[in-house]
Each structure stands twice: as C-alpha cells, then as structure tokens.
Structure 1
C-alpha cells in the first residue's frame, strides 16, 4: 500500500476535537467554531449566520456539526442558507469534522459550522 501525505489547499484541517474544543491546523480553539474560506472564527451558534452568508459566493456546501449527536436544523435557518446558494449538510460534529477534511483535501469549496462535543 502506498501512503501519501494529504495537502490541504487554503484552509487548515481539523486535527482533533474533544469536550468543548477543536484542534485546527495544530492550534487548540475552544467553543463553537466556523471554518470558512476566509479563515477560522469563533461562532455564536445556530443563530449566528452573518459570517457564513457574507462568504456565500465561496461556499458550495456547509457542514453543520450539531454536537455529539445529530439534531434537526430549524427550517428558517436552512432556508436562509439555501436561499444564499449554500448547500447544507447536518450531522453530528465528529463526522462533520471528518467529512470537512475529506472535502477540503479534494479542493472543494466547503465550510463547517461546528458545535463542540
């Protein structure tokens, strides 16, 4: 088997996560987090869509990590994001982190809004 190092163009990958924190690009960040094409930001949660919507032209899909377990997304939040042309995928935070890294490694126009586990 041939193993090659994955390169992540643009944004750094999620290296790890734990109770209340994420490690992104080698740096530990506490609390909810936005991983956007323009950079990493602290996130105020599901009601805070401004930073995401401001970058809608650079995002094809937004992965929303809802914490340790998947939870439904309020229809009005989904409507605002999809109205801006952003596809939304809802999942628990651990698979959202893994999926983000895969899509980022493929060079896709992906963003993530992550609630900690």
Structure 2
C-alpha cells in the first residue's frame, strides 16, 4: 500500500511540474518521492532477513515527504494544502510501517 501510494504521489508531482514549471520545489518533491519509493521497497525486501534495516528503511521513507513539505513552504509558489495532506499521509504510512516492523515477534 505504501509503495503504491508513493508511486501515485510521485506521478502527481510529475504532473505538477508541467503546471508549475518555475517551481523548483515541485521538481524536488518528485525526486524526494523517488527516494521514498526505494526506501519502502527496500524495507519490504529486507523484512525476512534483516528487520533492523527494514525498520530503518521504513522510517526514513517518510523523510522525502518531510523534505518536500519544507521546500514547498519556503518557496511559496504553489498552493500546498492538497500537497500537505499527501505529505502527511506518506509520513504517517512511513511511521506505521516502522512501528509494524518493530512490533513483529522475534524469529
């Protein structure tokens, strides 16, 4: 779910690049989400053998949306209300994924 939502979010940012071509923040957000996608994918792949690394990757998957939000706030070129909701959702999913891995029983 988190991977799919991250991909959809990244595609949304890519579509916004055409709408706001002068916004460096929007371009950066698409890149930040690429990092989030990779982190979620890595967490899933590492889960069976390396829960500590999977937990870390799940947690840092929320960094991309956090950086995106900060960049948008500073730039002030785009109405960010919908984007803020999207970023918050992704940070929440990252935290839930992290907690889920942390709470798994030991092997």
Q: Same fold (TM over 0.5)?
A: no
Provide TM-score, normalisation by structure 2.
0.32
Q: By percentage of residues, which structure has more helix?
A: 2
Provide TM-score, normalisation by structure 1.
0.30
Larger Rg: 2
Q: By percentage of residues, which structure has more strand?
A: 1
1 or 2 for the larger relative contact order (CA 8 Å, sep ≥6)? 1
